[in-house]
Structure 1
Amino acid sequence: MAETNKEMRMEELDIDARQYQKLFYKSPAGMLLLDQDGNILKANQAILETTGYRFEEVIGKSIFDLFVEEDYIEEAKINIKKIISGKDLRHITKTRHKSGEIFYSLLKETRIKLNDGSYGILSMQIDVTDIKEKEEKIKYISYHDQLTGLYNRKFLEEELKRLDTERQLPISIIMADVDGLKLINDSYGHRAGDKLIKRSAEILEESVRQEDIVARWAGDEFVILLPKTGSEETEKIINRIITRTNETDTIDIPISIGLGYAVKETTDIDIYKVLNEADKNLYHNKISYGKDKESKIVKSFLDSLGTQSGETKEHVQRMAQLARKVGRRLNLSSNELHKLYLLAYLHDIGKITVPANILNKNGKLTEEEWEIVAKHTEKGRQIALATSEFAPIAEEIYSHHERWDGNGYPRGLKGEEIPYLARIISIVDAYDVMTNGRVYQNSISRDKALKEIKDCAGTQFDPELVDIFIKVILDE
């Protein structure tokens, strides 16, 4: 009876061994049997297919020579010791293909007793490259700004906590924002605004050191984190940003970046107070210099308008000179004269939003094209309102195509409902166009132009202003 039981146990052991062999070699997961030095004793077909080797190329070879990336060798040796001591491991690691290509493997590894009584390692491996790449992509997206590729606010806030230590002192923070983004968005559209943001981000990245962190904070705002950096080095970085900014144009618009910084010198200062101080310094600098920057952007719009339409510099200069003569004849105050002078230059600034092929079309506009052109007064008002210097003439820009009889646009204002300066500039504009012509319109004589304007008194133009304007021209 005892002998029979012994035979049954031996038979069961034989079955277990055969099942183990079948599971090992037929498993869809890659399988390796290793000794405690990492030498390969057995390998199944799945691991060969995954790594690109033949059976005879792996048996007896070390995993360190075939599969383990150099950066992971020390970690792999430590893991082998853990497994041999009886600890099961489950981890993801980089694995080297025969071709040299790197992929990710999920490893489940356990200790196993070998035929000679020593311990080895049974390693099951699954290619999880697709999953790992998706994880890496998700991680990248969660920490990076989609438009610029810079780090985002979430990442920067984590870095502020991580780097807020004594050994990183002094820590400098630069706050930066892109001037005129709303102007660009309103004038050229958000695609152009995005281009401006991306180029500004490139300038910031090009101006800092490798160890510095540049992040998009929000909208047109950026933050630069400078560990182990005091005021002197921070100012050098700011000067590099300014230099690169001055050397760079995009979409025919000068890039302008507002900057402010603060430094954390001691551990007792809250890092967010330093961030707020940098923001306040940025705001102070923008108040001091912002007006000039806004004006430069709008003036660049005028240059752009001149290249894409008949709205030449000479046209607006003639208008400005003539408008000033009319304004003086009307005894306008110096403030009103200045506004009229600006209006002569900027009355059609909204046309930069109109495609050149429509502006210069030699023929009748379609209904759709006319609607696009008609919106230029509203766009012009938006541009003017975005600047402190030109906001006072925003309503006049909006109204300079209104007619005395109420049949103008965009609001159909009538008579004295139309702003006074807009009524003046509409006459000046019409006269200069008639006497100097356009791409789509031949010029006419002074007398014919004056007759045309007189014929339109009471319908298109303010009749009193027409009389005064004619006197100004005849007195020249």
Structure 2
Amino acid sequence: IGDLNGLKLVNDAFGHHVGDELLRKAAEIIKSCCRKEDIVARWGGDEFIVLLPQTSQEEAKKITKRIAAFQDAPAEPIKPSISLGYATKEKADENICEIVKSAENWMYRRKLFEGKSQRHAIISSLEQTLWEIAQETKKHVERIKEISRKIAEAIGLSEKEIEELELLARLHDIGMITVPREILNKEGPLTPEEWKIVKRHVEAGYRIAQSSYELAPIAEAILHHHERWDGKGYPQGLKGEEIPLLSRILAIADAYEVMTAGRPYRRAVSREEAVEEIRRNAGTQFDPHLVEVFLKVVSDI
């Protein structure tokens, strides 16, 4: 028995048509790992069953290992991974339903044991996809984390809140992986309709985060990281302290890093120019109190 990990996340973020494609990919690889006489079938929403006639427990174990290895196969939007369990019918009078139940129980035990590492692998896969398609780099993310932490420490956030803020710095734009490549790679200006599609990345990011145990605490902050203090941001036009605190901190850190590091489409400016730009937008784009804090800690960055 095999249970495909991350299917709910893919369905919620990208739609069921992408989830169906992930299922098809998993089925193809499972079949490629089995023999001609083996039977592979769908077994519920995200589960597969493989019947292995005339197979010893040792051989079943080898086939299980071959199937498990398919999580290293490249795929978009995430690499597939599967939790597996097996059981062997050794006597004629054994109930096949009990054998299936034993395999299923073993699979669920493996899923619990592997759960955290599998979830981390899914998040890492999403993050890698983000780095590949967007103008983000590891250096950019580390700089945002550093700036965000300085602000957070200065206002007395707890270590748990700072950890969530650093996770937000890594994955605030995770919804960008749902934006069509042709729009992200377009050299000229975006049309109004294309811009609407890009802006939806915050909602896609929210859905991805809500589907992940590790990311759920920062889902709201992902949704609102493009809001503005004056209420002219998106997606909900929140203003002032209606905007999550972590989103307000990130907005300053991200803006400063982008301005000082530059982008292919925008020249870098000096630290002094970037600081002045943030100061000028206090009370409109940015939380004025957090800007004051940023101005005090920026010399240490």
TM-score by length of 2: 0.92
In the alignment, the residues of structure 1 paired with residue 58 and residue 127 of structure 2 have an alpha-carbon distance, to the nearest angstrom, of 39
Q: Which moved more, 1:330-339 or 1:228-237?
A: 228-237
**Among candidates 166, 177, 180, match of residue 355 of structure 1:** 180
Change (3 A) 1:430 1:226: same
CA shift for structure 1 position 462: 1.0
> What amino acid maps onto 1:217 in structure 2?
W
> What amino acid maps onto 1:442 in structure 2?
R
In the alignment, the residues of structure 2 paired with residue 247 and residue 356 of structure 1 have an alpha-carbon distance, to the nearest angstrom, of 23
| 2:225 aligned with 1:418 | no
| 2:143 aligned with 1:318 | yes
CA shift for structure 1 position 185: 3.4
8 Å Cα contact 2:26-2:80 kept in structure 1: yes
1:294 alignment counterpart: 119
8 Å Cα contact 1:361-1:440 kept in structure 2: no
Report which of the two structures shows the higher radius of gyration computed on alpha carbons: 1
| 2:102 aligned with 1:277 | yes
In the alignment, the residues of structure 1 paired with residue 25 and residue 116 of structure 2 have an alpha-carbon distance, to the nearest angstrom, of 22
In the alignment, the residues of structure 1 paired with residue 91 and residue 57 of structure 2 have an alpha-carbon distance, to the nearest angstrom, of 14
Change (3 A) 1:295 1:212: same
CA shift for structure 1 position 372: 0.6
CA shift for structure 1 position 363: 4.8
1:195 alignment partner, SS class: helix
2:283 alignment partner, SS class: coil
CA shift for structure 1 position 190: 4.0
**Among candidates 390, 396, 401, match of residue 215 of structure 2:** 390
8 Å Cα contact 1:192-1:251 kept in structure 2: no
1:236 alignment counterpart: 62
The aligned length equals 301
8 Å Cα contact 1:291-1:389 kept in structure 2: no
1:198 alignment counterpart: 24
> What amino acid maps onto 2:137 in structure 1?
T
1:112-261 equivalent positions in 2, closer than 5 A: 175-243=1-69, 245-251=70-76, 253-261=78-86
Change (3 A) 1:362 1:431: farther
8 Å Cα contact 1:261-1:282 kept in structure 2: yes
> What amino acid maps onto 1:204 in structure 2?
I
Question: Which structure is higher in strand share?
Answer: 1
Change (3 A) 1:206 1:356: closer
Q: Identity, % of aligned pairs?
A: 51
8 Å Cα contact 2:10-2:18 kept in structure 1: yes
1:177 alignment partner, SS class: strand
8 Å Cα contact 2:202-2:223 kept in structure 1: yes
CA shift for structure 1 position 308: 2.0
8 Å Cα contact 2:4-2:83 kept in structure 1: yes
> What amino acid maps onto 1:256 in structure 2?
S
CA shift for structure 1 position 284: 2.1
8 Å Cα contact 1:404-1:415 kept in structure 2: yes
Q: Which moved more, 1:448-457 or 1:247-256?
A: 247-256
8 Å Cα contact 1:310-1:360 kept in structure 2: no
> What amino acid maps onto 1:406 in structure 2?
G
8 Å Cα contact 1:403-1:459 kept in structure 2: yes
1:218 alignment partner, SS class: coil
1:319-343 superposed Cα distances (whole Å, 9 cap, x missing partner) = 1122122222222211111111101
1:210-269 superposed Cα distances (whole Å, 9 cap, x missing partner) = 3221111233211011233343222111112123x1442123632211111233344554
1:74-114 superposed Cα distances (whole Å, 9 cap, x missing partner) = xxxxxxxxxxxxxxxxxxxxxxxxxxxxxxxxxxxxxxxxx
8 Å Cα contact 1:437-1:443 kept in structure 2: yes
1:441 alignment counterpart: 266
CA shift for structure 1 position 451: 1.2
Question: Which structure is higher in helix share?
Answer: 2
8 Å Cα contact 2:210-2:219 kept in structure 1: yes
Unaligned runs of 5+ in 1: 1-174
2:229 alignment counterpart: 404
1:333 alignment counterpart: 158
1:253 alignment partner, SS class: coil
Q: Which moved more, 1:457-466 or 1:266-275?
A: 266-275
Change (3 A) 1:448 1:262: same
